[in-house]
Chains A and B, each alone.
Chain A
């Protein structure tokens, strides 16, 4: 079976203005809206489109997180994923451990393609795809804005500092996706009903021989330094005057 595996992370919704906990131990997540990481949603959309083109047979959504992550996986199933796996843990799992867990799943699922978001918008690490590709000893292509699959290969366009770069990778491969790859579909009500019947398997960290120990110790989390409030000028003349006084123009 030609299978695409997609990583789905549960994160604080991108519209939420996050708050740092008063004891500096982290960020407030209780009572905060949680969603699928936006980049992962794009990865899932791309997997669905590849399947709809007849280039894959099954889309498998995988997440690692607390029991409530089922909500995000149900959303993924409603979008069109065929089945889902939740590796359930309350621990914060570091990218290298995520990569090891995915690698074990790959052994069993033998995907043609693994699609991941280029970063999660909570920890902004941007590491999992590259680490997974390294452990699996397969190609990686990060920040893809275009993906074409044909003849056991993927031709990808990647967003890089210099512009756009095109790479060709042999499959299977790990691809991480960028914002402009596609616009994810909206979930319709009948699909939500249908998604309830799709298989969602729950596994534990113990099934993977990976412990929940983070790679690094969190010393503290602080709000960023704030910029001091500036001034408003009334017109262009005052703007130019102010810039000249500061020696900026």
Chain B
């Protein structure tokens, strides 16, 4: 029997799709019952969205002005308190969950399983190591609470149509004031979200400049795709950090991935292993990206991309 608590990710108004993927993962634990915890300044709206996820037993909503921004030091003691009575506590392996969940695990005095990619049993999980170049199967000791992050690219989002009960809760724990939110910049480009988009067009160092990168945006808009980038392109300052795909960036699983002017370093490949179809366009026919690509085209991207846009009609 697994009694699983999932920590919801949200921006105060909207539930992040990573939460639905955690529910799908949790449902694979034998005999699972799944509850979702929403910590917010005003949790009602997000809690209602969580309650609509199929398979959720109940939603626990905690209202507290201190929860306005997702500060791990503030959220962790509340999660640890409300985890009483649960066998498993899951969060998404996004920057939100990666920040929060190890702090929760330590407060509970247990280790953490990072990046669950498959559930093999109530205490047995598969996770990637060495940038996904090996897959580790681990057993958490029987009787220990399982704290884990879920590799969201490995799971489909759960269906909607649920109508779970929403319960208000007050963990009644002291919260620290030593960590303070100042500001956040970036995001909301009007384009699809990189982590959940069905199609992604990504560019690498070969784009040459921020200006050169415009043809990536142009193709992405044509396809209704999100934009991604290799580490090289981010380091070179062509695009902001939140577009980085790879071991230290975002791990994604779109239906269609265009790798344009990306050589295919192993650190990048680990971010796109679960893409359904990978299209590689590169002028170097020996680039490692072609080993993983489903469709490869060798040539100059500055010639190919305008032509591609034209032929896509």
Contacts of A237 in B (CB 8 A): 311
Q: Is the CB of B250 within 8 A of A215?
A: no
* Cβ distance A233 to chain B, nearest Cβ, rounded Å: 5
- A interface footprint on B58-86 (CB within 8 Å = 1, 0 otherwise): 00000000000001110010000000000
Contacts of A137 in B (CB 8 A): 176
Contacts of A218 in B (CB 8 A): 136-138
Q: Is the CB of A169 within 8 A of B180?
A: yes
- Say whether A108 faces chain B, with CB atoms less than 8 Å apart: no
Q: Is the CB of B72 within 8 A of A140?
A: yes
Interface residue tally on B, bucketed by range: 35 or more
Q: Is the CB of A130 within 8 A of B106?
A: yes
Known: A139-B73, A140-B73. A127 touches B102 (CB 8 A): yes
Report A95-136 residues with CB < 8 Å from chain B CB.
95-96, 99, 118-119, 121-135
Interface residue tally on A, bucketed by range: 35 or more
Contacts of B304 in A (CB 8 A): 236
Q: Is the CB of A130 within 8 A of B103?
A: yes
Q: Is the CB of B111 within 8 A of A130?
A: no
Binds A, one of B19-27, B39-47, B90-98, B163-171: B90-98
Q: Is the CB of A216 within 8 A of B106?
A: no
Q: Name A's interface SS.
A: mixed
Q: Is the CB of B242 within 8 A of A134?
A: no
Residue of A nearest to B199 (CB): A248
- Say whether A52 faces chain B, with CB atoms less than 8 Å apart: no
* Cβ distance B194 to chain A, nearest Cβ, rounded Å: 8
Q: Is the CB of B112 within 8 A of A231?
A: no
- Say whether B1 faces chain A, with CB atoms less than 8 Å apart: no
Contacts of B110 in A (CB 8 A): 96, 215
- A interface footprint on B120-135 (CB within 8 Å = 1, 0 otherwise): 0000100011111111
Which residue in B114, B241, B290 is a CB contact (below 8 Å) of A232? B290
Known: A160-B95, A216-B113. A139 touches B185 (CB 8 A): no
Residue of B nearest to A121 (CB): B131
Given contact pairs A124-B247, A166-B181, A249-B256, enumerate 13 new A-B contacts (beta carbons under 8 Å).
A27-B130, A119-B248, A130-B72, A134-B76, A140-B99, A140-B103, A141-B179, A161-B94, A215-B111, A215-B140, A215-B141, A221-B136, A233-B295
What 9 pairs between A and B have smallest CB-CB spacing?
Answer: A163-B186, A215-B111, A130-B102, A134-B106, A131-B106, A230-B294, A127-B102, A219-B137, A166-B182
